[in-house]
Amino acid sequence: MKKTSPHTAFLIIDVQRDFCPGGRLAVKQGDLVIPVINRIARLFPVVVATQDWHPAGHVSFASSHRGAEPFTAVETGGRLQELWPDHCVQGTPGADFHPALDLRPVRFIVRKGFRAGMDSYSAFFENDRETATGLDGLLRGLGATDVFVTGLATDFCVRATALDAVRLGYRTFLVEDACRGVDRPAGAVRRALEEMEGSGVGLVFAEELAAAYAAEGSAAETD
């Protein structure tokens, strides 16, 4: 793998307290992505972090639907909506980035899912597939052509972000060891990885990125 170019963006998806162990919608071992992300984020010229940023009573909360249980689905607004425990409510500690995440390399924060009646998995679009979050315009304004996606969760927001990045024309990579998934039902993470790879997403590991930088640095020293 070649070193990332000045036109490369690094996306950190939803590494928030509520999605990590101890949170309201914890992803198993979700906190293990943090040291990996911290190690490689500084290698990128543009780093963007996203936050789920839901109002109380959000459409994705099971508690907003009489008699509904988390991890089921209902039809609302003409769309099938997965239902979750209340999570990442605006202004609550659970919506904060995990305290171990190093935010110093982060240049921009994109908040999504803040409309009460619409969920948002992708960092690029709300779940109606039409309402933009503004991330595409931001990246194009910065001259980004490639994106590397990390964070939580592999089979939901990470997957949706990576697939949209490909659809929008970005050369897209998933840093596999910098992601963790819900994997509900079992096998969902594997299927998400297969879908992403089949759609043109490159699967890489953090060590490949670190090695590419180290190799180019050594070559520069010998020139």
**Residue 32 CB coordination number (10 Å):** 15
Q: How far apart (Å, rounded) are the C-alpha atoms in residues 222 and 148?
A: 29
Which residue is catalytic, options 18, 52, 112, 164? 112
- Give helix then strand counts, H and E, for the chain: 5, 8
Alpha-carbon 48 to chain mean position: 10
Q: How far apart (Å, rounded) are the C-alpha atoms in residues 56 and 209?
A: 40
Q: How far apart (Å, rounded) are the C-alpha atoms in residues 125 and 160?
A: 9
Cβ(177)–Cβ(29) under 8 Å?
no
Cβ(123)–Cβ(50) under 8 Å?
yes
- Structure letter (DSSP) for residue 13: E
Cβ(153)–Cβ(19) under 8 Å?
yes
- Specify which residues 110 forms β-bridges with: 50
Active site residue 88: no
Q: How far apart (Å, rounded) are the C-alpha atoms in residues 169 and 44?
A: 19
Question: If DSSP codes are grouped into helix, strand and coil, which group holds residue 102?
Answer: coil
Which residue is catalytic, options 20, 88, 157, 179? 157
Active site residue 177: no
Question: If DSSP codes are grouped into helix, strand and coil, which group holds residue 83?
Answer: coil
Which residue is catalytic, options 14, 18, 52, 146? 14
Q: Which residues are identified as catalytic?
A: 14, 112, 157
